[in-house]
Structure 1
Amino acid sequence: MKQLPPEYYALLEELQAVDFVLVELTLYLDTHPHDYDAIQQYNQFAQQRGLLKKQIESKFGPLQQYGNSYSGYPWNWDDAPWPWQV
């Protein structure tokens, strides 16, 4: 498997933490749809997630399939490790 620098793992951990917050806020907003502050938090974390994803993919390759991530040239979906392998 390809060796990755410590920065990869730090960014991936940060992305996972942001994803956790987004899931929790989604669950909360399902039962509190008029909580303006929670919606603001959700949007801030969604924006942060987009920036993190872009940063990771620009340095280390795609994170998601089916059009949710771009591929580099040559087609780099077979480059290991996949995010769930680390």
Structure 2
Amino acid sequence: MTEREILLKKISTYQFAAFDLQLFLDTHPYDRKTLEKMKEYKALAQPLVAEYEEKFGPLTKSMTSSNHWHWIMGPWPWENEEDC
């Protein structure tokens, strides 16, 4: 696996776990242990997302204060170096 793939796998794992716990909290809103675990997974994902975006570009489309969309700056998924 490439470094990019490893980072994506870690990010998706933490984000999936946080989302799954968030769904559980929809039916168990007073479960503090689950709430703390969800916050923990979100916190673990944040530095990985920052690292990924620094090395490989944004994971989601976003607008900066300069009114410029950085997500279009590439590379697009089909423009990866390993595919060329």
Q: Give the TM-score category using the shorter length.
A: 0.7 to 0.9
> Is 1:81–2:82 an aligned residue pair?
no
Q: Quote the offset at 1:6 in angstroms.
A: 0.7
Contact map agreement 2:25 2:34 (CA 8 A) in 1: yes
Amino acid at match of 1:77: M
RMSD across aligned C-alpha pairs, in angstroms? 2.4
Structure with the larger RCO, 1 or 2 (CA within 8 Å, 6+ apart)? 1
Residue in structure 2 matched with residue 32 of structure 1 by the alignment: 28
* 1:1-86 correspondence to structure 2 within 5 Å: 6-67=2-63, 71=70, 77-81=73-77
Q: Which runs of 5+ in 1 are unaligned?
A: none
The structure having more radius of gyration, on CA atoms, is 2
Give the Cα separation in 2 of the matches to 1:33 and 1:59.
37
How many aligned positions are there? 74
Bigger helix fraction: 2
**TM-score, normalised on structure 2?**
0.75
